[in-house]
Chains A and B, each alone.
Chain A
Amino acid sequence: MVLGDLGRKIKGALWNMTSATVIDEEVFDELVKDICRALIESDVQVGLVSKLRNNIKAAVQFDDSGAGVNRRRQIQRAVFTELCKLVDPGVTPWKPKKNQPNVIMFVGLQGSGKTTTCTKLAYHYQRRGWKACLVCADTFRAGAFDQLKQNATKARIPFYGSYTEIDPVVIAADGVEKFKQQGFEIIIVDTSGRHKQEDSLFEEMLQVSNAVDPDNIIFVMDATIGQACQGQAQAFKDKVDVGAVIVTKLDGHAKGGGALSAVAATKSPIVYIGTGEHIDDLEPFQTKSFVSKLLGMGDVQGLMER
């Protein structure tokens, strides 16, 4: 499971606490420390982790002389609430509507997996009976159009792009217009990789967005990303209306904690995860069931009852 290691560590920390006979401040501190360590080792942003630490600590009072069981419950609830806040932005993900064009624009850092994931998502919808297509609005990266074209051809997905037009805004607008007229339902626009330090690239992204007026913008993020994630994700969100996150490369060893930082920064849910280079290596992601699995809700509830 994604972020599974993290889940295991957190559960382990909770178990350690419950097996202690007396829950004093020392045991509590140790628990909080273990959880924070697990989060940082999974690449959750350090700032977010210290916020979580403070919130958990503020929620548990040691001066009131509540009974041991009460305190245990209090601690578990505080940990649960804070972790939920971290993974679940509390936003219902956007859903496409049948029999009308739905324009989805992909954005993200260089090499995060946008082009690959675009095809995966188009294929995903196509197999479920939607009329899906792809537009290549990356005129910068060498071989970008060939990449999308070869992927799309293999999957028999209609595509649009150009070897001669150098303005991505023009291609995006033309492609979306053409496919709208042809009655496509899922129109996915791939864009170049970019980063917040280069204004002109961000400006270009805004222009493409303005030109195609997307129904949803998906921020694609590599699971191996470290502490730079939050700042980058935030900058993307500040520039365009990001509505969802896809985390790629989770077939590797990465725990994907950076994803949690991106969720916090964009206030957008994770909707899919990428688990390989092949076209069907895409899995839907449900925040709610992830959180309960992450925390082994069953176990926690069982403990709380006691």
Chain B
Amino acid sequence: LFTLFRKITGTSEMTKENVQPILDQMQQHLMAKNVAADVAAKLCASVGEKLVGRTKGTFTTIKSVVKQALEESLTQILSPKRQIDILRDVRAAQQEGRPFSMVFCGVNGVGKSTNLSKIAFWLLSNNMRVMIAACDTFRSGAVEQLRTHCRKLRTMLDDTDDAHPRVVVYDRGYGRNDAEVAADAIRIAKSEKYDVVLIDTAGRMQDNAPLMRSLTQLIRTNKPDLVLFVGEALVGNEAVDQLTKFNRALQDYSEERNPRVIDGILLTKFDTVDDKVGSSISMTYITGQPIVFVGTGQHYFDLRKLNVKSVVSALLKPVQK
């Protein structure tokens, strides 16, 4: 009688055998959406663990159950456990009579300087005074790039008061020690009552030990309020290695007991990947850190908050050709 009852309501158990093929499909799908292979595998495995042994209802297919569980996992990975409220933290620093400082770091060419300028624009729009510290003293044109942005921002703001500009670049040219340039900038920003110091750094490969050590030095000596890792949405499997190694280097090369690591992620070039938005998953899965901003273009307005819902739905949609 009992078995008959079960048959009528049609519930059935989900087994490794009937779930696995669907998980394999999902894994392939996530990789096509540019989720790193390793992350896609782990994610699907954990969804499998959650589902095997459970029963599903009459009118649902295993596929839809898996899809829903995956949707939940993806949403959870992208939802910050910790809110970063920069404006609030800047005001708190103001109360202490010091500038709030943030460092932009990451590999070469991902968009550190451009998105730093967008954040400057956003802070200026919130009536903050901003100093940009030109601590990329290596790459040709890096200083002039920031000066150009600064000039454009001042024009946009109609800022003509050269004695008290609302945004300035502090630079000491090329070939300097970046940590010292940052220290000088923070000191001057304090005496000239700038609210925020945005510290641009040179791009560096995560395996380049001397450069990673010097970044650690910059962070250790200047104790910035926020360390942002800038990564581009275009990156594939390397996302995992970049973040793991940036974090590890900041820990290993620091001689402190509680070394600083990355506080948050700035995900750039989001406008260049269509629906292949998987790098957002790879990056947050690896670090557990929030995506604080998303860069969506080359103009000052092209800065957004991550829309978790739309990213998850883009990830689950069929792959665009």
Contacts and interface: CB of A to CB of B under 8 A. Distances in A.
Contacts of B319: 46
Interface in A211-233: 222, 224-229, 231-232
29 contacts: A46-B32, A46-B319, A111-B110, A112-B109, A113-B109, A142-B149, A143-B145, A144-B141, A147-B141, A150-B141, A195-B269, A198-B271, A222-B109, A222-B234, A224-B235, A224-B236, A226-B34, A226-B237, A228-B34, A228-B234, A249-B107, A249-B205, A251-B205, A252-B107, A253-B241, A253-B245, A254-B238, A257-B236, A258-B236
Contacts of A47: 32
Given A224-B107, A232-B272, A142 B237 contact: no
B145 A226 contact: no
B207 A253 contact: yes
A197 interface: yes
Interface of B: 28, 31-34, 37-38, 107-111, 113-114, 117, 138-149, 152, 205-208, 232-239, 241-242, 245, 269, 271-274, 276, 278-279, 298, 319
Q: Nearest 8 pairs between A and B by C-beta? A: A226-B236, A147-B141, A143-B145, A111-B109, A142-B148, A146-B144, A150-B140, A43-B236
A251 B271 CA distance: 27
Given A146-B140, A150-B140, A227 B148 contact: no
A110 B31 contact: no
Contact of A40 (B37, B232, B274): B37
Given A113-B109, A253-B238, 8 more contacts: A46-B319, A113-B108, A140-B298, A141-B145, A143-B142, A143-B148, A252-B207, A253-B206
B132 to A, nearest CB: 12
A279 to B, nearest CB: 10
A238 B208 CA distance: 37
A282 to B, nearest CB: 15
A263 interface: no
Interface of A: 37, 40-43, 46-47, 109-113, 140-151, 154, 195-198, 222, 224-229, 231-232, 249, 251-255, 257-258, 277
A197 B271 contact: yes
A228 B205 contact: no
A225 B236 contact: yes
A226 B274 CA distance: 13
Contacts of A145: 141
